[in-house]
Structure 1
Amino acid sequence: MKTTLLKDLKALLLPIIVYCVFLAISFERFSNLNGIYTIFLQSIIPTMTAYAVAFGYMCGIFDFTIGSRIIISGLIGGIMSSWFGLPGLIIGCLVASLVLSAVTGILNWVCRIPSLILTMALTMIYEIVGKNIAGKFSFISIDYQHAVLGASPYIVYVLIFATIIFYFLFSFTKFSYHMRAVGSDEAVAKNTGIKTQFVKFMSFVIGGIFIAIAAILTISQSGSMGAQTGLGSATLIFKPLMGIMIAIVLQPLCNITFGILISQLTLNTIFIGLIAAGLPDTFQNISLGFFLLVVMIISNNVGGSKNLLTKLHAPFVTRAETAAAGSQTKGE
């Protein structure tokens, strides 16, 4: 237990180091404790989206539809909230998300084509569906009384609840082990008796739970949900996907559940820090991409770096051992 806690604290150093860098650059803006809490709150929705992406990603599926499913779920939840209040918002988002997830999973099962191609085509279709649901104004608003889950402290309670669910599903269920086996080598997993297509289908459905949570928080936090077209909804998955990649790098230090949250805190700190520094949007995207490249390069070359250091250090060790042996001979 003590070792696990120590590793988690080591992983937590990543966002702390990034924060300290921006604290040195802009001390007045980053020395405020409210700013730290704001960064934390703004990391919650990307974390929920990353939890949704993680199931398909670990199963070897690249799902473009997640953003469009969040939008449709939020739109239907918003409509339901006008009739049934907060329960309508929650039930509407959950039912819409699970139905869309099941449809996407069934099509992936039946069509047997690469998930990238299928989900990109479905994203275009889902965006048109979302635009028709949103109506001529292309967005749906909800009453502020029904948007309590998007504000503090309720949004933190939702985060804790969702994190516990994800941790349990990802760490202690047989489905999780089957999912990772399919993602590692589908042919081998199939030969061992795992129903690979069913596992992929369930990865869509279970991920749909977290899509619903992300939709509820998104429409509650902003007070409205707008439709997207032209694959605009796909942008919602880029930062969560980056967070998953960083979380995989952090896996030797902490469980991926906490790794995703830590990585989203890090990315959000960078994003807010660049805004505070007055840099344009294009440079912010370049910086985030560069940060991801640095993390991935370091993680994928740790073994090579160790071997290189060993080779460079070996001649000096040999010389030192030879000199020590010579000194001992002379002494004798």
Structure 2
Amino acid sequence: MSSQKKSKNKIIIIAVVVVAILIVLHIITGFVLLSPSNLLILAGNMAVPTIIALGFTFIFACNITDLSPGAIVLLTANCAGIIGNACGSPVAAIPAMLVGCIAVGVACGFINFTIYRVSKIPPWIAGLGMTMAYEAIVGIYSQARANKGLQVEFLRDENRILGSQPWIFIVLIICVVISYIIYNHTTIGINIRAAGCNENVAKTMGINVSKTLIIGGIIAGLFFGIAGVVKESVSIFTPAQGGLTSLSTVFQPLAAVLLAKALSKNINRIIAVPISTFIIVVIFNVLTLLGVPSGTFQEFLLGSVVIIFAVFAQRGVKGVVK
């Protein structure tokens, strides 16, 4: 049997198992899980984590461990509130929010990856430092507003279009399509994966490794900027966070990326990202439907999911994981 046929058979088996599990969970939850209304809620809940996970995919393709995206999304979400309210009508506010937040996200990606390449500081250490810096920026802004007796910007309802149906799904689909094309069908996507896999081989191939990896960070920042707009549109406002608490934002997308890596042996990595996010969102939705309150137990479960998916993702990987 050819390897391609074996791969197709594995995909079919995985699909059948997943569908069977979903049907069982649908019955256990009193036929609520797969109801049309609940599926729409699940699709909406997976939008922001999926877009962040797409950005993470490019970071990991660069062989970089960076946990600052949560703080970047925190920063871009607040920018979305400021820009959206300053522009007034949705016709002006939506494009302005997207352009402005993408610019901020791209700038953060550029700064982060330039620091990693120039300073030679381990990215996970430098990334924690940048996380604190981005949190501090939002904290300073929040404190300045508080001194005037104000809160952080609450995005006006008429400008929250991208957080409502069907626009939130349209944004999600566009992000998946863009990332799929860049990751699989562009020279820069191929170069990013080559440089992240082996820098010495990439240099031999004539690839400018530093430039390529910085572009990878910029592409990731683009998705973090979009995630910030969608997050602000969904939640109305995004409060300041400090002491690395923004790291909690990245655990669900991180789990999705790790599961996608495990699935990528049989499914395209980018396609596997929304599938993985959906699976994770379903897990927590089932817990909620079964009456398990959000909080400590669900956070414990999320941490366990990250570890389990990491184990599956690293199967067959030799040497030290960076």
Which TM-score tier does this pair reach, normalised by the shorter chain?
0.7 to 0.9
Does the 8 Å CA contact 2:160/2:233 hold for their aligned counterparts? yes
When normalised by structure 1's length, the TM-score is 0.82
- The answer to whether residue 304 in structure 2 is matched with residue 284 in structure 1 is no
Q: In 1, distance between residues paired with 2:165 and 2:12? A: 25
Change (3 A) 1:110 1:242: same
Q: Which residue of 1 aligns with 2:95?
A: 87
Does the 8 Å CA contact 1:127/1:228 hold for their aligned counterparts? yes
Change (3 A) 1:151 1:34: same
Counterparts of residues 1-332 of structure 1 (less than 5 Å): 12-13=15-16, 15-30=18-33, 32-84=35-87, 85-134=93-142, 135-136=145-146, 139-280=152-293, 281-294=295-308
Structure 1 residue 18 displacement after superposition? 4.2
Q: In 2, distance between residues paired with 1:69 and 1:296? A: 23
AA of the residue aligned to 2:32? R
Does the 8 Å CA contact 1:11/1:250 hold for their aligned counterparts? no
Report how many residues are paired: 302
AA of the residue aligned to 1:32? S
Structure 1 residue 233 displacement after superposition? 1.0
Moved more, 94-103 or 219-228: 94-103
Moved more, 46-55 or 188-197: 188-197
Q: In 1, distance between residues paired with 2:123 and 2:261? A: 21
Task: Decide which structure has greater helix share.
Answer: 1
Q: In 1, distance between residues paired with 2:214 and 2:38? A: 41
Q: In 1, distance between residues paired with 2:296 and 2:16? A: 27
When normalised by structure 2's length, the TM-score is 0.85
User: What's the Cα RMSD here?
Assistant: 2.6
Give SS of 1:224's match: coil
Give SS of 2:182's match: helix
Change (3 A) 1:263 1:93: same
- Structure 1 unpaired stretches of 5+: 303-332
Structure 1 residue 15 displacement after superposition? 4.9
Moved more, 142-151 or 181-190: 181-190
Give SS of 2:153's match: strand
AA of the residue aligned to 1:125? A
Identity level (%): 24
Structure 1 residue 77 displacement after superposition? 2.1
AA of the residue aligned to 2:42? I
1:82-141 per-residue CA deviation (whole Å, 9 max, x = no partner) reads: 221223322221222122222222222221111001110111111001112233256321
Change (3 A) 1:25 1:282: farther
1:282-321 per-residue CA deviation (whole Å, 9 max, x = no partner) reads: 322333444455555567669xxxxxxxxxxxxxxxxxxx
Give SS of 1:287's match: helix
Does the 8 Å CA contact 2:253/2:277 hold for their aligned counterparts? yes
Change (3 A) 1:109 1:12: same
- Structure 2 unpaired stretches of 5+: 88-92, 317-322
Q: In 1, distance between residues paired with 2:315 and 2:109? A: 37
Moved more, 278-287 or 249-258: 278-287
Does the 8 Å CA contact 1:102/1:201 hold for their aligned counterparts? yes
Moved more, 118-127 or 22-31: 22-31
